[in-house]
Structure 1
Amino acid sequence: MNNSKLIKIGILNLMHDKLSSKNNFDSTLKNSSANIEITYFYPITKYTNQKIPDEVKKLSNTLNLNNLADFDGFIISGAPIDKLEFDQVYYFDEIKKLINQLNKLNISQLYICWGAMAALHHLYGFNKNILPNKFFGVYPHYILNNSSLIGGLKNGFQAPHARYAEMDLSNINSFPKLKVVAETTNRHAFLIENQQEKQIFLFSHLEYNQNDLYKEYLRETKSSKQNKKAKIVRPKNYINDISSLQWQYSKETFFNNWIKKIT
């Protein structure tokens, strides 16, 4: 039995498949040796004037900004809305209030993919750029700056990406509070950090299991039948084999380092 200090982590789950996302984070975070309790949330304003799906209510709690003080760390997940401008996301005000509260309470923050874009935009004013094609697949990475978050990883480490937008790394590099820790070998963002203010921006879906990229491809292929203009790309450098995980070491290393950092 693990008698270590209980680490409380909150997750705002904005992913398309709520159950799969929950299972991914559960297996990823609870795989560490730490004693972890995870609470999932949904933004109430996302369901303004509509019925909250039963699955959402079953898997997560209504976000209450007044009940965050006990969390050691908080994650805002990715979301399949990176083609939208931030002001087109009708629950973005609630997310901004959440980010402000996390900073006020000095809680360690991990923002993933769209969550990272949204936080960088709200906190520092950076805009995202829509890519000509989806950045999709498994890629090697360069380490640009030291960070305890990637301690144990070496140049060439593998990680999955799945997004339609990108931040301008040249602008971010010039901002004194932020540090670009690593990027892909073709210059896409992997990890940005503001260590002083406990803000981590991860652009890779390291929480994914091996078949999640394939499931995402199938889902978009299906939806493209209704949208004839949609251009669907296959994930690159990707082996769809659920018996192995191409980014297993990167995944374990990063999340174990993050858990150590917030304890």
Structure 2
Amino acid sequence: MVSRVRPVRIAVLNLMPFKEVTEADFLRLLKGVSTPVEVAWMRLRTHVSKHTSAVYMESRYRYFDELRQERFDGFIVTGAPVELIDFEEVDYWEELRQIFDWAHASVRSTLYICWGAQAGLYHFFGVPKYALPRKVFGVFGQHVLSAAPLLKGFPKEFPMPHSRHTEIRRGDLERHADLEILAESPISGVSMAMTADAREVFITGHLEYEPYTLDNEYRRDLGKRDDVDLPKNYYEADDPSRKPVDSWHEWALRLYENWTSLYLVKERQDA
């Protein structure tokens, strides 16, 4: 008899404005892992997407209160274009806090990405965010500081894309014994941290980005904002007329493979 592995079920709260682009980013990685994965897309009742049609949202997304009773192994919270707004002033903050608490109690591990990571750190630990004088924009080498299974197979340094106007600071994380810093850069700061039980993993960059995402952001904002710099360590020879160098995809796949196989599947088997 052929043994069938139950797919890992992962819910994704997609807070990004262009839903289909973000879906493609995460599906590209989740389809590349060795374990079958089922994805459910979550949306908020207290916020209406302005950039994705209502018909599309109805066909692909379900509300938190419709999904909360279902069983999920993992959860992902994406970034959101609200980082310069105080957390409490974000119109869906109270619903988001309920979702964070549900995830902590109900799933084995949650990945909080970019602003999602800042929001999660603030909700669970009171860690503040700080506005930056210039946008952190580009691909930066991250020094691995931990032997955590999440980083199994990683080199001492690996690249990660960043696109942020705000930051978290190492000193604020070090005040909490339950937080471990996994990786950081002298330029882009702490990039990964997690709780001791791995229920919350915080990633301040965008390993999920496809090769041209930073290029699209750069060309979108050029001439429209006064803080738009050439993304660092991104184009061949730092020339925007040439192709981006996709230096991070291998490590993105490795991270999601480790997360699903060592934190979701293994924990399920050990339970």
TM-score, normalised via structure 2 length: 0.87
Post-superposition offset of 1:220: 2.7
How many matched pairs? 255
Calculate percent identity across the aligned residue pairs.
27
Aligned to 1:135: 136
Asked whether the equivalents of residues 72 and 106 of structure 2 are also in contact (C-alpha less than 8 Å), the reply is no
Give the aligned CA root-mean-square deviation in angstroms.
Answer: 2.2
Match of 2:248 in 1: 247
**Other-structure match for 2:157:** 156
1:231 aligns to 2:235 (yes or no): no
Unaligned ranges ≥5, structure 2: 236-241, 266-271
Q: Which runs of 5+ in 1 are unaligned?
A: none
TM-score by length of 1: 0.90
Q: What do the CA deviations read for 1:168-225 (whole angstroms, capped 9, x no partner)?
A: 2112023100000100132512100103251100111011110011112223337x2x
**Deviation at residue 105 of structure 1 after TM alignment:** 1.9
Work out whether 1:35 is the aligned partner of 2:36.
yes
Q: CA–CA distance in 1 between the matches of 2:231 and 2:157?
A: 18
> Alpha-carbon deviation of 1:69?
4.0
Distance 2:3 2:94 in 1: 39
- Rounded Cα–Cα distance in structure 2 between residues aligned with 1:90 and 1:245: 35
Q: Deviations over 1:23-62 (max 9, x none)?
A: 11111111111110001111110129xx973333343222
2:189 is equivalent to residue 183 of structure 1: no
The aligned amino acid for 1:216 is E
Question: Judging changes above 3 Å, is the alpha-carbon distance between structure 1 residues 124 and 247 closer, same or farther for their aligned structure 2 residues?
Answer: same
For the pair 1:167 / 2:163, whether they are aligned, the reply is: no
Letter in 2 for 1:104: A
Q: What CA distance in whole angstroms lies between the structure 2 residues aligned with 1:180 and 1:145?
A: 7
Provide the rounded CA distance (Å) in 2 between the counterparts of 1:219 and 1:189.
Answer: 27
SS state of the match for residue 32, structure 1? coil
Q: 2:258 aligns to what? A: 257
Q: Given that residues 69 and 105 in structure 1 are in contact (C-alpha distance below 8 angstroms), is that contact kept between their aligned partners in structure 2? A: no
Q: In structure 2, what is the Cα distance between the partners aligned to 1:2 and 1:195?
A: 33
CA deviation string 1:139-166 (max 9, x = no partner): 1111122211111111221111111111
Decide whether aligned partners of structure 1 residues 254 and 125 sit closer, same or farther in structure 2, where only a CA change above 3 A counts: same
Q: Is the 8 A contact 1:179 1:193 kept in 2?
A: yes
DSSP-derived class of the 2:142 partner: strand
Which whole-Å CA distance do the structure 1 matches of 2:209 and 2:40 have between them?
19
1:84 aligns with 2:80: no
Matching residue of 1:61: 62
Q: Distance in 2 between matches of 1:197 and 1:88?
A: 29
Residue in 1 aligned with 2:216?
215
Asked whether the 8 Å contact 1:103–1:197 carries over to 2, the reply is no
Q: Kindly indicate whether the alpha-carbon contact (under 8 Å) linking 2:169 and 2:189 is maintained by their aligned counterparts in 1.
A: no
Partner SS, residue 214 of structure 1: helix
2:202 partner SS: strand
**3-state SS, counterpart of residue 245 of structure 1:** coil
